[in-house]
Amino acid sequence: MATAATAATPGILARVSSYVEWGPISAGAVAAAAISFVLIAFGSAIGLTSVSPWSSSSLPAWLIAVIAALWLLLTQAGSYALGGYVAGRLRAPSGDSLAAERYFRDGAHGFIVWAVGIVITALVAGWTAGAVVKGGVDAVATVASGAAQGAGSAASVLSAPDPLNYSIDRLLRPANAAAEAQPAAPGAQPASASQVTAGANPALSQNDAGMAKSDRDQASRIFISALSTGTLAADDRAYLASRISALAGVPQAEAEKRVDDAFAALQQAKVEAKKAADQARRAAAIAGFLTAAAALIAASAAAAGAGLGGKHRDENGTLRVFGRERFW
């Protein structure tokens, strides 16, 4: 008399040596990783066509982020569902097990497919990241070498200016900078930096002009210290104003206003930098949660796909896509 297990699985040889079959698992994991890579590459290509440096021809950043998140979730779920299905369909069930036990073992094989696929993906991602980092280091070394030889770079032109140096530049701007910026008369020789500085303040000696570098460094240290405490000390403010008045040839009151404006601009830049860092932190946190959610959904999809594959195997069913029997 045939048991319920053998009656439910006619023509299938029982395998009792091991409940885990690594052949179907490996096949399903490789299939899932390959499909996932292809779909992610395809989605990345579509995403790049939607992004443009011109704001008028680019989709909003939030819409791109939402589409990318949905694509990641669908990609992982679909890839591992198919990988699990392959493993479940190729696995040979034990002939002495009940239907519920076979279904569990099929689902467990799908889960292991997901685990192996995640390991493969992590190894590939780590290798890729290492290659990218190495390429970045080589590129930085090349750019630095070119800069040392005086070669310009478009990246340096488009990079954001240093707010500290820019503020100090404004502090030391000569009083008649607008007049100095006017075009020179035909045949006239351009004035040197020392001549411009001396023209801003005729009482300024050549020795004082040579001290501008030292004053810049000192102003940088004063502003950095003030930004760390949030307050510019009165004596530091008075000292900076006196030096700016001497170097730039402006009245003391205007020099003090320059100091106040520069410190306010630096405080605003500090706030903006904190906002940017906080936004980057939130984006990284959201990306981490999204990655974890996609992985969990992929695990469930792999187990469900393996269960469906095992059911089709036991019932001699077929995989149908768009109403047609497939493979493929």
Reported as a single tens digit per residue, the pLDDT across 64-89 is 888 888 998 999 999 999 999 999 98
Which of 260, 257, 250 shows the shortest CA–CA distance to 226?
Answer: 260
Q: Which two tokens stand for residue 324?
A: 């047609």
pLDDT recorded at residue 17: 58
Percent share of the chain, pLDDT over 70: 66
**Confidence band of 323 (pLDDT split at 50, 70, 90):** low
Flag whether pLDDT at 57 surpasses 80.
no
Residue with the bigger pLDDT between 51 and 301: it is: 301
Flag whether pLDDT at 129 surpasses 70.
no
What are the two backbone dihedrals, phi and then psi, of residue 12, each rounded to the nearest 5 degrees? -105, 125
Radius of gyration for the alpha carbons in the chain, expressed in angstroms and rounded? 34
pLDDT recorded at residue 119: 87
Residue with the bigger pLDDT between 317 and 205: it is: 317
Residue with the bigger pLDDT between 143 and 240: it is: 240
- Select, from the ranges 77-81, 101-105, 191-195, 209-213, the one with the highest average predicted confidence (pLDDT): 77-81
With the C-alpha atoms ordered 232, 236, 238, 240, is the resulting torsion angle positive or negative? negative
Which of 117, 108, 128, 107 shows the shortest CA–CA distance to 36?
Answer: 117
**Confidence band of 28 (pLDDT split at 50, 70, 90):** very high
**Confidence band of 148 (pLDDT split at 50, 70, 90):** very low
pLDDT recorded at residue 59: 74
Residue with the bigger pLDDT between 96 and 242: it is: 242
Average pLDDT over residues 137-148: 44
pLDDT recorded at residue 177: 54
Residue corresponding to tokens 């300024």: 204
pLDDT recorded at residue 111: 95
What are the two backbone dihedrals, phi and then psi, of residue 324, each rounded to the nearest 5 degrees? -120, 145
Q: Which two tokens stand for residue 248?
A: 């730039």
Average pLDDT over residues 291-304: 92
Average pLDDT over residues 223-234: 88
Flag whether pLDDT at 155 surpasses 50.
no
Average pLDDT over residues 98-121: 89
**Confidence band of 196 (pLDDT split at 50, 70, 90):** very low
**Confidence band of 220 (pLDDT split at 50, 70, 90):** confident
**Confidence band of 207 (pLDDT split at 50, 70, 90):** very low
Which of 82, 86, 112, 81 shows the shortest CA–CA distance to 18?
Answer: 112
Flag whether pLDDT at 141 surpasses 50.
no
- Select, from the ranges 27-31, 59-63, 163-167, 186-190, the one with the highest average predicted confidence (pLDDT): 27-31
pLDDT recorded at residue 161: 60
pLDDT recorded at residue 24: 92
Please tell me whether residue 247 adopts helix, strand or coil conformation.
helix
Percent share of the chain, pLDDT over 90: 17
Flag whether pLDDT at 233 surpasses 80.
yes
Distance CA 287, CA 290 (A): 5
Contact between 82 and 319 (Cβ < 8 Å): no
